[in-house]
Chain A
Amino acid sequence: MEAVLNLIIEKYNYWIYITLMMIGLYAMIAKNNLVKKIVGMNIFQTAVILFYVSTGVKKGATIPIIEHGHDVAHQAVRAADYINPLPHVLMLTAIVVSVATLGVALAIAIKVYHRYQTLEEDEILEQIREL
């Protein structure tokens, strides 16, 4: 029990991202409404973004901005004092990608709605079967 608890506490960021990811996956599989599925997809993507952001953390470090950088540029910068900014920068791109995916998905959902007059998947499938 102790070991399991420690495992959860030590790696809590992983547990959070996996939980979020599974919530998203569950919504994509089990929800009947297409917009809910799209929301699930977005949660899924956000979970990965959260995972990346959490990997940049260092204990006791601060944000990676060097104060008065041009005056003290000759001094050595200790990397351990600053969190790793690279995953955050990468995630800016990933956020843009996820927004674009969300936009395209919603636009397609509108197209689906125009055709079937509903966004409930079972009703759409019923209409397709009747054709």
Chain B
Amino acid sequence: MSEHYPALLVILPLLASFFISAAGWLRPVCCFPLALAALGSSLLVSLGLLGDVISGGPVSYWMGGWPPPWGIYYRVDYLNALVLAVVCAVGFVNLIAARPSVEKDFPEKAGPFYTLYVLFVTGLLGMVATGDAFNLYVLLEIAAITGYALIALGKGRAALSSLHYVFLGTIGACFYLLGVGYLYIITGSLNMEDIARLLPPLYESKVVTVAFAILMVGVWLKMGFFPLHAWLPNAYTYAPSPVSSLVAPLMTKVMVYVMIRMVLTVFTVDFAFLVLRLNEVVVWLAVIAIVMGSLLALAEKDVKRMLTFIVVAEVGYMVGGFWLGNQAGFTGAVLHILNDALMTLCLFLAVGNIVHVNGDSRWESLPGLFRTMPWTMGALVVGALSIIGVPPTCGFFSKWYLLLGAIQGGHYGFLVALLFSSLVSVVLFFRIFEIGFFEPFGASHGSAHGEGGPAIQEAPLGMLVPLWMTALGLILVGLYTGEIVGRVIRHAVPGMML
């Protein structure tokens, strides 16, 4: 059983999505339990895989028994076992929280929603698990197409924003495909490790350089790396809240993983850092991404939209950390994939609760929220502290590693950008706390609650429990950072960076 884990991880939710789609027509009540069962079993499988990897090293799986250079091959090592577990956990927790808002906002579309939801997670899991460059493209498109449809479920400008995302997302995916095509012309292989084995004598070839450049631009477009982020804020703002809290934590993080995987396994660190010497340039791009993301976030007057720009800044953290090219930076980047997925999930879930109760997440809807929605705002505070980087929360530790990497690499621009963005986060979130706590709210809400002071008007329990699970998860992951880094991430660091 356990030797089939890598395949089960992807196949279980894939098959389940067909059943959910059928249940949507026949028995809509079954959709949610089916989706929950599918993602729950994926979560168990991914945790089992993580355990296997920790105890016995990387796991390989030949699809249909075909050996690697010919067949499709799934490989789970220290790097992606962790990412797989995060994707499953975020998908599962967010699914529980999605139910009340689905029932409130689009009950008639529950079947398609859960089908797309599970397919989206399938695509992401496949992208992370696969060891085949073309297979990655197909799964990337599965995740992307379901993502477009999910975002278009929203109201108002959602459809238009989703269409813009379709255009830019397709350009990104086509660039990735083109990069893989160039690699295929020059090496004749699609298996990542096989390409890496064939590439070294070809490092001087222009084809490889072109392949690398096109592929990186495609991946950066998909992850919303600063100058290529134009699609991201609108798409994530106007999407329905259960969709934003699924797509925003996962899509960008998985694309960062794909970038790391491409550089690490396909092109190898030697090529990217020693032959092309791109690291300095990319870290400066990341500095710009962090600074601009933070500045643009300052200009927003809507919590959800502000969070989308924080996502843009956080992408800069991870890209910069990886391209610093030293052990601390790499550790920080990988740890930040995990932490940032949880932090963004926490914040977007909290905003989802506010939208669920108030119907809005603009500044005007915030006054008095600490009294009417104490639990939601409490979790928002934990998430915010983690983004800012306050000790027991996990955000502190990944930022610490990134700062350490910047100092060791002598890259003070990156150091300054990290500190600047932390300070801006303080301003951003304390502005929200101030409005929520101190601003008088009688004028806008008083009539609704009558004269006897504000009544507690919390989101349903089904949304609060997942939110607090995530918030506590932030602190737990923070406390166990040493374990995670020592047992998993340390083994993923490539030899050259040690």
Contact = CB atoms under 8 A, between A and B. Distances in A.
Contacts of A90: 134, 190
B185 A48 contact: no
A41 B168 CA distance: 9
B148 A108 contact: yes
Nearest to B165: A108
A124 interface: yes
B160 interface: yes
A37 B160 CA distance: 13
Given A51-B181, A100-B141, A104-B166, A112 B174 contact: no
A104 B148 contact: yes
A124 B164 CA distance: 13
Given A55-B184, A104-B148, A104-B149, A41 B141 contact: no
Given A55-B185, A101-B170, A111-B152, A48 B159 contact: no
B145 A108 contact: no
B171 A48 contact: no
19 contacts: A28-B167, A34-B163, A41-B166, A44-B171, A48-B174, A55-B181, A55-B184, A87-B181, A90-B134, A90-B190, A93-B138, A94-B177, A97-B145, A104-B166, A108-B148, A108-B152, A108-B162, A115-B159, A115-B160
Contacts of B134: 90, 93
A23 interface: no
Contacts of A111: 152, 159
B157 interface: yes
B152 A37 contact: no
A107 B171 CA distance: 19
Contact of A97 (B138, B152, B184): B138
Nearest to B144: A101
A73 B170 CA distance: 43
Contacts, number: 70
Contacts of B152: 107-108, 111
B178 interface: yes
A128 B157 contact: yes
Contacts of A107: 149, 152
B178 A109 contact: no
Given A51-B181, A55-B185, 7 more contacts: A90-B134, A101-B170, A104-B149, A108-B162, A111-B152, A112-B159, A124-B160
A104 B162 CA distance: 10
Give the most central of B137, B145, B162, B170: most A CB within 10 Å: B170
B181 A105 contact: no
A19 to B, nearest CB: 15
Contact of A41 (B157, B170, B177, B181): B170
Interface in B152-196: 152, 156-157, 159-160, 162-163, 166-167, 170-171, 174, 177-178, 181, 184-185, 190
Nearest to B166: A105
Contacts of B162: 108
B166 A108 contact: yes
A114 B163 CA distance: 14
Interface of B: 134, 137-138, 141, 145, 148-149, 152, 156-157, 159-160, 162-163, 166-167, 170-171, 174, 177-178, 181, 184-185, 190
Interface in A66-118: 87, 90, 93-94, 97, 100-101, 104-105, 107-109, 111-112, 115-116
Dominant secondary structure of chain B at its interface with chain A: helix
Dominant secondary structure of chain A at its interface with chain B: helix
User: Top 5 A-B pairs ranked by shortest CB distance?
Assistant: A111-B159, A97-B141, A112-B159, A108-B152, A105-B166
A123 to B, nearest CB: 12
Contact of B167 (A37, A51, A52, A124): A37
Given A55-B185, A101-B145, A45 B174 contact: yes
A79 B164 CA distance: 44
Contact of B163 (A45, A51, A108): A108
Contacts of B174: 44-45, 48
Given A108-B148, A111-B159, A51 B166 contact: no
A128 B156 CA distance: 10
Contacts of B137: 94
Give the most central of A28, A45, A94, A124: most B CB within 10 Å: A94
B115 to A, nearest CB: 14
Contact of A109 (B138, B157, B163, B184): B163
A22 interface: no
A112 to B, nearest CB: 5
Nearest to A49: B177
B169 to A, nearest CB: 9
Interface string A117-130: 00000001000100
Nearest to A28: B167
A20 to B, nearest CB: 12
A112 B163 contact: yes
A93 B137 CA distance: 10
Nearest to A25: B171
Contacts of A87: 181, 184
Contacts of A128: 157, 160
